[in-house]
């Protein structure tokens, strides 16, 4: 009976040791896969960082070149006011032209 218990104890110990080794091998495989994936992620992050470094100056230039677009609304408002006020100026200029034409006809004998 004691020998049977010792034999069972040995087989149980062997089974535990086999299970332990299987666990170690599986953990090693998972670790190798994880390290490979981590290296790929790090390389992708480095590429993204390099592209961002190349893109940043262009983005700053675009922002600088398009900053004045927002001011075009104010320019349109001013232009509309100028056009609105140009009508009376044209009328006054036409009146002056007519008066000068009449004056030149009167003084110069009709030659203009």
Q: What is the pLDDT of residues 32-61, one digit of tens each?
A: 999 999 999 999 999 999 999 999 999 999
Instruction: Report whether pLDDT(2) > 70.
Output: no
Neighbours of 104 (CB within 10 A): 13
Instruction: Report whether pLDDT(109) > 70.
Output: no
pTM given for the model: 0.48
Domain range summary for the chain, segments of one domain joined by +: 2-108
What is the C-alpha to C-alpha distance for residues 20 and 84, in angstroms, rounded to an integer? 91
Give how far Cα 47 sits from Cα of 11, 36, 39, 41, 42, Å.
Answer: 54, 17, 12, 10, 9
């Amino acid at each position: 009976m004691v020998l049977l218990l010792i034999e069972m104890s040995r087989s149980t110990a062997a089974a535990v040791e086999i299970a332990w080794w299987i666990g170690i091998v599986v953990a090693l495989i998972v670790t190798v896969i994880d390290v490979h994936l981590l290296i790929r992620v790090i390389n992708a992050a480095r590429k993204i960082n390099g592209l961002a470094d190349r893109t940043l100056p262009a983005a700053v230039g675009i922002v600088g070149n398009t900053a004045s677009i927002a001011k075009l609304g104010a320019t349109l408002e001013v232009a509309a006011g100028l056009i609105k006020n140009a009508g009376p100026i044209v009328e006054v200029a036409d009146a002056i032209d007519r008066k000068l034409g009449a004056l030149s006809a009167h003084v110069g004998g009709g030659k203009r």
